[in-house]
Structure 1
């Protein structure tokens, strides 16, 4: 069945605290209007805590499309406002890793992302959920929340993924493995782990971590790095970054609609880069939850 074309009217909302947000707001506004997208309103949001309510107000005003510019955290923190609404969610990737944009096949440069919004198509996708909180791409526990919660903003802003890597090395010295239980509703799977990823899409931290996860499968993927060794965790990231043949040697994956996760000691959970929850929690998929703008040939 042929889908409706993308709306020509939209509200632009940019997190100017994201890595490229402040420099890109005016350029994005001009490029969108030149491409034929009529901006009902354009907001440069300086306080990230105001992003969700700004998106909420745009959706309630009847905007047929909301364009959110920022990193994965900005997108995850605002997508709840579009669930169940007749409003297209469009993305300008202005963050550090831009994992959600990579999953959608969006160009990471501003011109290409604007072209996808102006001349692309709609795609209905799944979202992940941690308890009642929706997320676009990935959640993780283990070393990642420690990094995300403590990494200096300037290091992330100016060095990008390299800054994350340097900070990860520093954080790893104080990190310990934990006992993990993954309950799939039929069986409890118990193991030692150093990191767990809950994936709605294949990318996390800008790296493709899973061949099974995607935004239209109707399933969520839980991927655990098994064992107690820090070297296994480092090797896993290295092997997946370079797409080595044995990149899944130290991971165990579970696919399904819903999982209950517990850990000992309790672990904090990073949701698309923001530390927002802790164990125990339920991870599940929200099938076909929103419509997004993607390139026409995606």
Structure 2
């Protein structure tokens, strides 16, 4: 493995770069041509470009990407596209660059990337005055029950995730949000869908084990975050994908109105509150059981059901970030 400085130098001096754009993401279809033009104007050259019109191809496509032995892989798309890239690029001598073209762009927000396309392209220009740098950030690892993508022996990469593991109402929302509503309403589509589902949603009991201590609670929504954002909103001012911490927190208790009020507080006060507050528990490993067993959402995809074990993999992923990003 090269050092971050050596990898950055290779990229700056014209190393091998590959571009993957999900043309089916919310903004990918509309901005694909603009993205190619801005990348060309910035002088970024790619040995291969993969425009993805079928998201089901993403999983197999990265074998072709890795065969090109790139120094940099630029991925344009939403959190699902980025999550697929993270699973393939973690623990490798390759930097990931992100063009945020999704609905919530939680991972891009956690990396403090500009959400506008010209700003994101400028960040990719490592070594220029307005360009970014190579940093290493944490990823998560999970093992759930009945995960259809983790049945193969020794396939550790299938267990990696970028941003968030969620249990509860959000799983039903992700299943139910209409595609057209998401396209035209953006992040608001999730909130509108949640309002419709909440009156019928049943609370669950969760048993959370950290450092050998088990706590039991009731809630409608439980999250374990590696990143700093959920639903496009910062969860705490000091949360970071580079802090060697998983943040475990629930939204409300068994009462539906408490879920609504806790969600509102999350949106309004997230940028001001701290991970040291009682609402959070921070750790590098957590085990979760629920009654009844529930489906587990990992970066927007249902990946089996509870029980689930979640661990941290510190500094496992190389990424291109703004110069202002604090790399620890």
- What TM-score results when the alignment is normalised by the length of structure 1? 0.94
Deviation by residue 1:100-143 (Cα, 9 ceiling, x = unmatched): 11110100011000111112100100001222511111121111
CA offset at residue 212 of structure 1?
Answer: 4.9
Aligned to 2:176: 150
Contact 2:22–2:53 at 8 Å: present in 1 too?
A: yes
Matches within 5 A, 1:198-277: 198-243=224-269, 252-277=279-304
The 10-residue stretch of structure 1 (281-290 or 1-10) with the greater mean CA deviation from structure 2:
1-10
Q: Give distance in 1, aligned partners of 2:256 and 2:236.
A: 20
Matches within 5 A, 1:279-294: 279-294=306-321
Aligned to 1:123: 135
Contact 1:59–1:87 at 8 Å: present in 2 too?
A: no
CA offset at residue 211 of structure 1?
Answer: 4.1
CA offset at residue 226 of structure 1?
Answer: 4.6
Contact 1:213–1:220 at 8 Å: present in 2 too?
A: no
Q: Give distance in 1, aligned partners of 2:48 and 2:92.
A: 19
SS in structure 1 of the partner of residue 119 of structure 2: helix
Q: Give distance in 1, aligned partners of 2:268 and 2:186.
A: 18
Q: Give distance in 2, aligned partners of 1:272 and 1:296.
A: 26
SS in structure 2 of the partner of residue 63 of structure 1: coil
Q: Give distance in 1, aligned partners of 2:257 and 2:207.
A: 22
Q: Which runs of 5+ in 1 are unaligned?
A: none
Contact 2:236–2:273 at 8 Å: present in 1 too?
A: no
**Root mean square deviation, CA, Å:** 2.0
Aligned to 1:84: 91
Distance change (3 Å), C-alpha of 1:86 and 1:252: same
Contact 1:59–1:66 at 8 Å: present in 2 too?
A: no
CA offset at residue 274 of structure 1?
Answer: 1.8
Deviation by residue 1:64-110 (Cα, 9 ceiling, x = unmatched): 11111111111112211112211111111000011111110100011
SS in structure 2 of the partner of residue 217 of structure 1: coil
Figure out how many residues of one structure are paired with residues of the other and give that number. Answer: 297
Contact 1:226–1:252 at 8 Å: present in 2 too?
A: no
Matches within 5 A, 1:95-134: 95-118=102-125, 119-131=131-143, 132=156, 133-134=159-160
Q: Give distance in 2, aligned partners of 1:294 and 1:247.
A: 23
Q: Give distance in 2, aligned partners of 1:171 and 1:188.
A: 30
The structure richer in strand per residue is: 1
Q: Is 1:23 aligned with 2:50?
A: no
Which of 139, 158, 162 is the equivalent residue of 2:165?
Answer: 139
Which of 39, 63, 74 is the equivalent residue of 1:32?
Answer: 39
